[in-house]
Amino acid sequence: MASATILKSSFLPKRSEWAATSRSPTSRQPAAVCFTVRAGSYADELVKTAKTVASPGRGILAMDESNATCGKRLASIGLENTEANRQAYRTLLVSAPGLGQYISGAILFEETLYQSTTDGKKIIDVLVSQNIVPGIKVDKGLVPLAGSNDESWCQGLDGLASRCAAYYQQGARFAKWRTVVSIPNGPSALAVKEAAWGLARYAAIAQDNGLVPIVEPEILLDGEHSIDKTFEVALKVWAEVFFYLAENNVLFEGILLKPSMVTPGAESKEKATAEQVADYTLKLLHRRIPPAVPGIMFLSGGQSEVEATQNLNAMNQRKNPWHVSFSYARALQNTCLKTWAGRPENVKAAQDTLLIRAQANSLAQLGKYTGEDESAESKKGMYVKNYSY
């Protein structure tokens, strides 16, 4: 509970509404427009948390692999999927010295929120002592979407309010909900609407319970389509997401987004440079994302570590109205995991590689990454067809 106390804002507002009334300056009548944005009793704290996570030169370490996905990672280095091995790996990540210089938030899987390090400290306390805000994955994964062509929808709204309240008590201050949209399978209007509505309901519930929602409609890399097709689908998806966020009275200043970058499909013959990815992705953001949103924290989606860093750097060559940053899992952890290989004597070297990636992305957030001295491992792509999280 100590962590919750450290993070809890001492000046939480008690009012339950933010209201704004608009009057036309020239009219003698009260203006017809009167609008209210409901943000719950946590409004000020949500804005503060979102700003802290979206702070200059920092981004998010996504380490919220479900136990099943963590098992796949551990298997890739010949380890069994036991609680002890997951704990050893997560201890290595959160205790990398000085991580908080580059990392502002860490997304955890539920097990980790309640887990201790191998030397008995609460993982969330280690994060807070590193100046890293703990976050929590709250979606319950994807299942087939009945009535559509091989598409999925994301579960987890049942009981979400009480889970969010408990996670807040435990020290979490932001949440993540990942749903996916598949281009080769459509996307159908039904799948897009379902993804957008689920994200909006989740975001409203998370805000009501003090957690900043990360809104993540991942447009999967799978497919042979062109970058123009990805752009067209992303325009549709984000239009719908913001329509429903607004309908659910979500406070835009208290959310963070986790989009996919706009790239050609992973199996497309077309390849895009970092500058092209930046052009398309920023054009999408400018057309769809209000400047009230404090931070855009990209997922890496199977790009190589270096590619994800280069693309982010290219986006930060211009002045953007939002903090444009990272929330990578694979593109921060890949070389680190391989370097560790489950051996205690490799922990320091593995932490060093994590810090190298975190620092490179921190520089990319500031538009100052030069790409020197990158390892061959960090240039390997990590795309996996139908990747699940």
> Footprint of ligand 13P on this chain (CB under 6 A)?
62, 64, 107, 176, 178, 216, 299-301, 328-331, 389
Element (DSSP H or E) covering residue 203: helix 189-208
Q: What's the min distance (Å) between Cβ of 16 and ligand 13P?
A: 31
Q: What's the min distance (Å) between Cβ of 298 and ligand 13P?
A: 8
Give 151 or 216: the residue with its C-beta nearer to ligand 13P.
Answer: 216
Q: What's the min distance (Å) between Cβ of 258 and ligand 13P?
A: 6
Buried b or exposed e, range 11-23, using 16+ CB within 10 angstroms: eeeeeeebeeeee
Alpha-carbon distance of 31 to 237, in angstroms, equals: 33
Q: Which residue in the block uniquely carries the two structure tokens 């123009």?
A: 228
Alpha-carbon distance of 364 to 370, in angstroms, equals: 8
Q: Which residue in the block uniquely carries the two structure tokens 């809104």?
A: 215
From the number of C-beta atoms within 10 Å of its C-beta (0-12, 13-18, 19+), residue 127 rates as: buried
Active site residue 258: yes
Give 207 or 309: the residue with its C-beta nearer to ligand 13P.
Answer: 309
Alpha-carbon distance of 324 to 318, in angstroms, equals: 10
List, in sequence order, the alpha helices (H) in 17-147.
43-53, 67-75, 83-94, 110-113, 123-129
* Contact indicator for 339, 353 with CB cutoff of 8 Å: yes
Give 102 or 389: the residue with its C-beta nearer to ligand 13P.
Answer: 389
Looking at the DSSP bridge assignments, the partners of residue 182 are none
Q: What's the min distance (Å) between Cβ of 387 and ligand 13P?
A: 8
Task: List the catalytic residue out of 110, 137, 258, 374.
Answer: 258
Q: What's the min distance (Å) between Cβ of 23 and ligand 13P?
A: 44
Tokens at 262, concatenated: 């706009």
Task: List the catalytic residue out of 45, 110, 151, 216.
Answer: 216
Q: What's the min distance (Å) between Cβ of 15 and ligand 13P?
A: 33
**Contacting residues for 278 by C-beta, under 8 A, at least 6 apart:** 311, 314, 315, 317
- Region of residue 247 (phi > 0: left; psi between -120 and 50: alpha; otherwise: beta): alpha
Q: What's the min distance (Å) between Cβ of 172 and ligand 13P?
A: 14
Tokens at 141, concatenated: 């994964």
Give 43 or 330: the residue with its C-beta nearer to ligand 13P.
Answer: 330
Give 46 or 175: the residue with its C-beta nearer to ligand 13P.
Answer: 175
Active site residue 374: no
From the number of C-beta atoms within 10 Å of its C-beta (0-12, 13-18, 19+), residue 341 rates as: middle
Give 200 or 331: the residue with its C-beta nearer to ligand 13P.
Answer: 331
Give 40 or 86: the residue with its C-beta nearer to ligand 13P.
Answer: 86
Sign of CA dihedral 110, 60, 224, 145: positive
Catalytic sites, residue numbers: 216, 258
